[in-house]
Structures are given as structure tokens and as C-alpha cells.
Amino acid sequence: MSFYEGFDKERAAQIAPAIRMMLGKNGFSIKTVATEKSYDLSGSKAVTVKGFDDIDAQYDAILKAVGEYNEKNGEMPEYVAVENLAVFAAGATKAEADARADKLLGGKGEYTPSNCYRRIADKIIIVTGSAQGFGQGIAEELLKQGAAVVIADLNFELAEKNCRILAEKYGSNVMPAKVDVTSEESTKELLIDTVLEFGGIDAYVNNAGIAKAGSLEEMTLQTLEFTNKVNYNAYFLGAKYASRTMKIQHRFDKDYYADIIQVNSKSGLEGSNKNFAYAGSKFGGIGLTQSFALELVEYNIKVNSVCPGNFFEGPLWSDPEKGLFVQYLNAGKIPGAKTVEDVKKAYESKVPMNRGCWPVDVARAIMYCMEQQYETGQAIPVTGGQVMLK
């Protein structure tokens, strides 16, 4: 995504989600088009609004113009132009919004509508740490169910590669984004870029995380602090900036619900031997979930954690050099284990359902969080019975 030098991305990202709610509520998409040239909107279903420095005055002007257009024409406009800022192309789906943006830029503006029912069709979802492992699998499962997904990861090259593969399967509803979840500026940019591409955000899935095993004697303060930075601090940053956009959407549709969902762990529900850095950060994450839930409930923003069991096939566990099987073998976490396979068998035997947790299991829990409207502040086990709530 590229914009002209001096374009006020942050201001546009405040306006797009407001227009999204004014025109179509849930499942609606807005594509932001901003270049230095002017567009001829005559003959289009469009409204043009004067630009204001004060954001409340800007909202009032857009709301008035959209209302007058609707009253006169019996339908909503397809374009909203804010002078000296941008044109916002609207559509019932991202494909339709993209087509109208393309037409504005001189293209054909063609798209094929889909009437296929899927659980979370056209919901806009960011999944952090989704270029590989659990996150990659979760992102694909959400795309299968019709969501528009941002593949957000520090490894942008891998995110781009995966997006190309996923786009061939599921269409244009997927975007790569580079993010360092430990950086406030990078997290803020992720949310702005998402809004300018899709028009808003319906769910922020805080999946990125790290695990560093070790005993009290082996663990260093540096490793402990970095674990907390990724697993705990980053959750705060994501919730802070995702909720800003969600609050704007709620302002213009009081019946609108949004979600912040932390992918936690079974280690956030019970202690983990010689793995206290990870478990402690995940316990803390559930404290954030409960606290964020209380603060954001007035905006219909639900905040929940899902707590998966072990994804044995993913790189977190199975990487031959840095995976947890290797770490736990070296840390002596499983008494008598002499090989990585010994460690794996010991962990599989702990699960009543006799298998590890798969991405589809977690994706279904995430979709449950989004679909229901009467639960917030919860930590939902997805552990095959290995950890049960008391």
C-alpha cells in the first residue's frame, strides 16, 4: 500500500471506520484511495464533504451528507470524498470496495459477488504471528469461513509468500503486514494500514508469542524480560490500538460488536515446570483479558482468551534446533527422557483425546468468541481435556 508524501494516514484511519458504520455496519468494507490528483465523481453515487481539522466536526459533516444523500436517493452513496484528504470507496464486501476503487483509478471495476454462507463472512481480522505455526493455520481457517485476514508478522517475506498462496485459494481478502508486536509505533502502523485497506477491524487476534524454557538457575533476566515483552506487553499494545478503531465503529452503530482475542495457552491456566517465564507471561495475559473486558464492555468490545494445548506439529514444538521438544529434553523436564521422541510421547500421553491441539481447534474457539454476544473476560480451554476448568 503506497500513498503520496504528506498523506495523513492517521486521520484517514479515523474516518474510514466511521464511514463503514454509517453506510453498512458489519460486513461492510471501505477502501481508501489517496493520491495528489483530483477525481471526477460526477455521475457516480458519491458525496463530497469539506475537510475539517476537528474530528467531531468532520464526523458531523459526513453524517449529514450521507443522510441527505440517502433521503434524496433512497440508497447509500458508493463513494465519500473528504476534500484535501481521500476518497473512500465502499462495498458490501472487500471485493466490491476494491472494484469501486479500481474504477475510480481508471480500471474496469469488475468483481464477482459471492452468496456462499460462511460463519464470519467479510469480518476483518488481524492475526499476529501468522506467517507460520499456529497463527498460519488459524489465519487459513478464518479465511475458509469468509473472513478478510491480515497476516501480520515480523517475517514479512514469509507473510507475503503465504498471502500469495492463500489469495489463490480464497481471493483478495488477505493482506500481508510487517509488524514488530513489541514496538508501539509498529503496532499503531499495523492498525492504520489495516483500516486504510479494509475500512475497519472486527477482531484482533493476539497470537504472536514466544516460549523459552529453563529452570530458575538457567533462566536469565534478559530472557525473562524479552518473554514478557512479546507475550504480555505486546498484548497491551494490540488491545490499545485495536480498541481505538473499534470505539469509532461503536460510536456510529451502538449495536455493533467487536472482539479482542488473545491466543493464550494451557500454561496460562496452570503452572508449568521449568517453564515459568512462559507460564508467568500467560497468567498475566489472562489478567489483562479480564481487565480489558471490564473497561471495554461499554463499547460492545468483547475481550477473551483462548488457551490451546500443544500444537506438536508446529515449529514452536518440532523445530529440530529451537523447538520445545529439544528445549525440554535439554532442560530435563521429562525424567528419564533420552530423545526428542521420548519427550513427544510423554506429552501426547497427557492428553485424554490422545492428540495435540490443531489450528482448526483454536480457530473454532475464536469464531465462537466472535459469534456469541454474551461472554467476555473468559479464558477458554482448548486442550483436549488435558486442563479442565475448576
Given a cut of 80, whether residue 316 has pLDDT beyond it is no
Domain ranges of the chain: 9-104, 124-310+351-382
Instruction: Return mean pLDDT, the chain.
Output: 92
Contacts of 301 (CB under 8 A, 6+ apart): 243, 246, 247, 250, 257, 258, 259, 260
Name the percent of the chain lying above pLDDT 70. 96
Q: How confident is the model at residue 261 (pLDDT cuts 50, 70, 90)?
A: very high
Label residue 37 exposed, middle or buried (CB < 10 Å: 0-12, 13-18, 19+).
exposed
pLDDT at 121: 86
Active-site positions read 278
Q: How confident is the model at residue 229 (pLDDT cuts 50, 70, 90)?
A: very high
Q: Rounded distance, CA 141 to CA 358, Å?
A: 11
- Average pLDDT estimate for 152-177: 94
pTM of the model: 0.92
pLDDT at 26: 61
**One-letter-per-residue 3-state SS of 307-363:** EECCCCCCHHHHCCCCCHHHHHHHHCCCCCCCCHHHHHHHHHCCCCCCCCCCHHHHH
Q: Rounded distance, CA 263 to CA 203, Å?
A: 12
pLDDT tens across 279-296, in order?
Answer: 999 999 999 999 999 999
Q: How confident is the model at residue 36 (pLDDT cuts 50, 70, 90)?
A: low
- What is the topology classification, in CATH, of domain 124-310+351-382? Rossmann fold (3.40.50)
